[in-house]
Amino acid sequence: MKRLLAIIYLLVAATSLHAADSLKTVSFAYDVDFKMNFDNRELYKSGYSRSMTIFGARVTPSVGLAIRPQAGEEHKVMIGADIMKDFGGVQTRILEELTLYYRMQKDLGDTDLTLYAGIFPRSRTTGDYSPAFFSDSLLFYDNNLEGVMLQIRRPKASFEVACDWMGQYGPDRREKFMVFSAGEGEILPFMSLGYAGYLYHFANSYTQKGVVDNILLNPYLKFDFSDAIGLQRVDVRLGWLQGLQNDRVHGDGYVFPSGGEVDLDVQNWNVGVRNRLFCGTDMMPLYNDKDNTGVKYGSELYMGDPFYRVYDDGKDGLGIYDRLEVYYEPDFKGSSKYINIRIGAIFHFNAMKYCGTQQMVTIRFNLQSLLAR
C-alpha cells in the first residue's frame, strides 16, 4: 500500500512540475489601437464625391492569451471590441463589431511567418496598395477583415495574401468576398519590384440576381533615392493598373480598363510633397450600371477612390487624374514606431481641371508597438 501511495505521489509531483513548466509559456496578452480621422472635403467642382466633413474616432482594445512553446514561435488568441463614433452624428450604437482572431508568428531563420484567422484589424496588412484599390473613407470605416491572412517577410522581400469575406448570402445582402495580395522584393539597394492585386466576387442575394467579377492588378517598380540625394525620403513608384471586369448577367463580356501611374514622394524635416499621376481609361466602367432591381453598383462594386473614374461627364477614352498632397508628419523623439500624426492637404485634378481639395488630420496609436521598443 505504501509503495502504491509513493508511486501515486511521484506521478502527481511529476505532473505538477510539467504543468508548472507549461504555464511558463502562457501569458496574458493585450493590445489597443486608436485612430482619429478628420477629413474635410471641399469637392464642389467634382462629380465624383460630395463635399462633406468626416470627423470621428475609433478605439479597438483586445485581450487574450499568448502561448510560446519554444523560442521563435508564438500563438495568440485575442478577443476585442471595435468602438467607433462619428463626431456630431446620431448613433444608436458605438460598438461596430467584435474582433476575434488567432495569430501565429514563427521565426524560420531568415524568414518570418505570420498567420491571422478570424476578425482582425485591417491595419495588420503591410502591402503597398494604390488608392485605386482602397479609398481613404473605406480604410477608416471598414476597419476589420473577416477571414484569413498569411504574411511572409524576409530581409529583402515581403509578401501577403488574404481573403476577406464581406457579405453573407441573404434576402437583401449579396454574397461578397475579396482575395487580395501584395509583395515586394529588393533588386538593387535603391530599386524594388512589387505588385498588388485583388479578385472581388460580387454575387447574388435572394432578390438581386447576377454576378460581377472585378479583378485589379498593379505591378510596379519602386526607386529609393533618399541616400543618393540626401533627403529624408525620395521615392518614385512606376506602376501599371490593369482591370478585368465582367457582369455575367447584365453585361456584354469582359472589359479591360487600364492605365499607368507615377507616384513621387519627397520628404525632408518631416514635411513632404506627394504627387500621384494616373493616365488611363475609366477604372470603374460599371459604376453606373444597375442590377435587376434597379440598384446602381457604385461603391458596392468598387472600393477605390472614385476619382479613378477619370471623367465625371460620361466621356470615354484616355484621361488624367492627378492627386497632389502636401503633408507634415512630426516625429517626437522616435515616437513614429507607435504613434503617427499626419496633417495634410490634398488637391484633386481630373481631365486637367481642378476638382477640389481635402484637408486631413489623422492620429494613430498602437500600444504593442510602444511596448516593443
Residues in the chain, overall count:
373
pLDDT digits (tens, 9 = 90+) for 124-133: 999 999 999 9
User: Measuring CA to CA, which residue among 100, 105, 101 is closest to residue 75?
Assistant: 105
Q: Tell me what the mean pLDDT of segment 67-82 comes to.
A: 92
d(CA 66, CA 327): 38
Residue type present at position 189:
P
Q: How much is the pTM?
A: 0.87
pLDDT digits (tens, 9 = 90+) for 265-313: 999 999 999 999 999 999 999 988 888 777 888 888 999 999 999 876 6
Confidence of residue 17 (pLDDT cuts 50, 70, 90): very low
* Residue 360 reports pLDDT greater than 80: yes
* Residue 18 reports pLDDT greater than 80: no
- Enter the CATH code of domain 31-371: 2.40.160
Task: Show the DSSP H helices in the chain as ranges.
Answer: 2-23, 136-141, 226-229, 298-301, 367-371
More confident residue, 192 or 141: 192
d(CA 255, CA 278): 19
Q: What is the dihedral of CA 39, 43, 46, 50, to 10 degrees?
A: 60
Q: What one-character-per-residue DSSP string does 53-110 give?
A: EEEEEEEEEEEEEEEEEETTEEEEEEEEEEEEEETT---S--EEEEEEEEEEEEEETT
Query: Cβ of 283: how many Cβ atoms within 10 Å?
Result: 26
* Residue 330 reports pLDDT greater than 50: yes
- Counts for the chain of helices (H) and strands (E), in that order: 5, 16
What pLDDT, on a 0 to 100 scale, did the predictor assign at position 113? 96
**What's the alpha-carbon Rg for the chain, to the nearest Å?**
24
